[in-house]
Amino acid sequence: MAQADNGRTRILDSAAAVLRQKGLAGAKLSEIAQRAGMLAPSIYHHFPSKDHLVEEVMMEGIYRNNRHIMARVEGLGAATAPIVRLRAAIVAHVDFLLAGDDYSSAVSRIFDDLPEEMRKRVLAAYSSFDNYWRDLIVAAQADGSASQALDATVVRKFLIAMLDSCASWYRPGKLGPMQIAEQAADLLLNGFAAERP
């Protein structure tokens, strides 16, 4: 049984890497199998279809990302200022996406390309991730460290969309993942304009 689990894990890891790099349309079962060290038909021993494999990668990515962000934020302690907790979540999310977690990056890259029914199931699993961000934003607004003039839902949707986009455009270069993460937090929390227009 351990051997079967190992094969399944290798397929999932391989699928996450291919989905991250090539997107949903570019992800071929033959390449996933080759990376996993097996033949393409072997995938069907573990997963009934490509869609089942993709959905499992998505669910694992959501779980990993949420767990990583919560560990970083909750590690600060409940007494930490809400805006500091929000900043920690932003930095943790971007750093995690860019530092090499294939699963989380695959979620960000292919979510919009998922078939409608799969997207609904993934969104349902995503709700705890969304709720955590909402709570961080609302707490920062409630203590006055963030603008109460902005709708928390709009802030959350723009924030997550902006952060998730980095998985599709980032290439190693001048700035590393942590530097980009810090700049994302600065942009979101401090704005871009030197003075209000």
Mean pLDDT split into 10-residue runs, the chain, 197 residues: 69 94 92 93 92 94 91 95 96 87 87 91 88 95 93 93 85 88 91 71
| pTM of the shown model | 0.81
- Give the closest residue to 93 by CA, choosing from 122, 51, 148, 136: 136
- Give the closest residue to 92 by CA, choosing from 71, 78, 76: 71
pLDDT of residue 195: 67
Q: Are 184 and 158 in contact (CB under 8 A)?
A: no
Residue type at position 153: T
pLDDT of residue 196: 58
Distance of CA 110 to the CA centre of its chain: 11
